[in-house]
Each structure stands twice: as structure tokens, then as C-alpha cells.
Amino acid sequence: MDKVNDEGTVDVPPPIHLEKSIVLVGLMGAGKTTIGRRLAKRLGVSFIDADSEIEKAAGCSIKDIFECYGEAAFREGERRVICRLMAGPPQVVATGGGAFMDAETRRRVKESGVSVWLKADIKTLVARVSKRDTRPLLSTGDPEAILRDLAEKRNPFYAEADIHVESRDGPHETVVEAVVEALKKRRAA
């Protein structure tokens, strides 16, 4: 029987047992953190945001890391953090949009994780990223043009992910369930 928890809602047993971490990849605004947090709850595992881990390790924001040390230093920290996370227990990991461009990161993720590309069209991405000004790559020009350019360069790498899921607007749970179903199907294959 399902148990009612302290919040008065029902605890549904996790639909699958994770053997590897689920690693969310995709452009800025794809919903990696939002979906990742809910997906982790659904799967009964922890959620880790790689960007937050980098900020914790550096003791400052990503914006400040870019400004004070440059993008190359950020990428190095990003590679190190993801490598550490991939060596840890199975969990849901949200990566920053550029992380999967790094060959070493891709190799580690392929080795010890299941990657999920959250895809969204440019208009959706632009609408979502416009809510915050924390992303240094988007502050240098027109966010739509920058995202279009990044999509062209990065999509071939994201396409290497094990699972591709549309991250449409609407209830987050729909996207979460699409990921869960894709994970189940992959396991059954």
C-alpha cells in the first residue's frame, strides 16, 4: 500500500532502481535543473546541480568565475566536478549547457551514467533564460542569436546522449514522466 507522507501526499514507490547516474544535458533554458530536481524526487535519489557544485568549490558565482578567471578556468572546474560526481553513487545530475562539449566529460558520462538530452526550441529557450541574468554567455549580445549559434554548434554533441526528450512548456511532470518512460524502455531493450 502507498504511504501518506508528512505533506499529506502519497509516497509512490520509485518506478525504477538506478544503477547509474542520470545526467541531464542540453542548452541553457532546457530545464535541466527544474526537471532534474523533480526527476530525482520521482526516482527517490538525490539531485545535484553541477553548476552549484562549481560555485560552492569556487566560493563565488559562475558570473564571477567567468569575469575573474575566464571561461577556460570555469570549464576546467566543470570537468573536475562532473568527474567527481560520476564517481559517486547513482543520482540525478544537471550539467551546465557547455559541459557535454568536453570530450573527457562525455567519456566519463558514457562510462558511468545515462545521459538525457532535454530539447526545446529556440523561442522556448529564449523565454526561459530571459527570467534571469546569471548566464555570462548570454550577456554579450542578443540571447536569441547566441542560443541559435550555440544550438548549431552543440546539438551534434547533445545528440550523442543516450536518451532524447522534448522539454516542452506545460506541466513539468509530463517531461519527468517522458524521461522515466524512456529509461524504462531502455532498460527493457
Considering the rule CB under 6 A, would residue 97 count as an interface residue with ligand S3P? yes
Q: How far apart are CA 142 and CA 138, in angstroms?
A: 7
- When asked if residue 25 is in the footprint of ligand S3P (CB under 6 A), the reply is no
Among residues 31, 96, 113, 143, the one that binds ligand S3P under rule CB under 6 A: 96
Distance (Å, whole) CA 172 – CA 189: 26
In this structure, is the dihedral angle defined by the CA atoms of residues 155, 159, 160 and 161, taken in order, positive or negative?
A: positive
Please provide the distance, in angstroms rounded to a whole number, between the alpha carbons at the two ends of the chain: 29
Binder among 21, 31, 32, 163 for ligand S3P (CB under 6 A): 32
Is there binding between residue 51 and ligand S3P (CB under 6 A)?
yes
Determine, following the binding rule CB under 6 A, whether residue 36 of this chain makes contact with ligand S3P. Answer: no
CB of 187 closer than 8 Å to CB of 170:
no
DSSP 35-47: HHHHHHHHHTS-E
In sequence order, the 6+-apart residues with CB closer than 8 A to the CB of 23 are 82, 86, 93, 95, 109, 113, 114, 115, 116
Q: Does 176 bind ligand S3P (CB under 6 A)?
A: no
The mark string for 115-154 relative to ligand S3P (x by CB under 6 A, - otherwise) is --------------------xxx-----------------
Shortest reach from residue 57's CB to ligand S3P, in Å: 13
**72 or 188: whose CB is closer to ligand S3P?**
72
| CB nearer ligand S3P, residue 18 or residue 36 | 36
Interaction of residue 39 with ligand S3P, rule CB under 6 A: no
Three-state DSSP class for residue 98: coil
Question: Rule CB under 6 A: is residue 24 a binding residue for ligand S3P?
Answer: no
Does the footprint of ligand S3P cover residue 28 (CB under 6 A)?
yes
Q: CB-wise, 153 or 185, nearer to ligand S3P?
A: 153
CB 147 within 8 A of CB 122: yes
Which residues form the interface with ligand S3P (CB under 6 A)? Answer: 28, 32, 51, 62, 96-98, 135-137
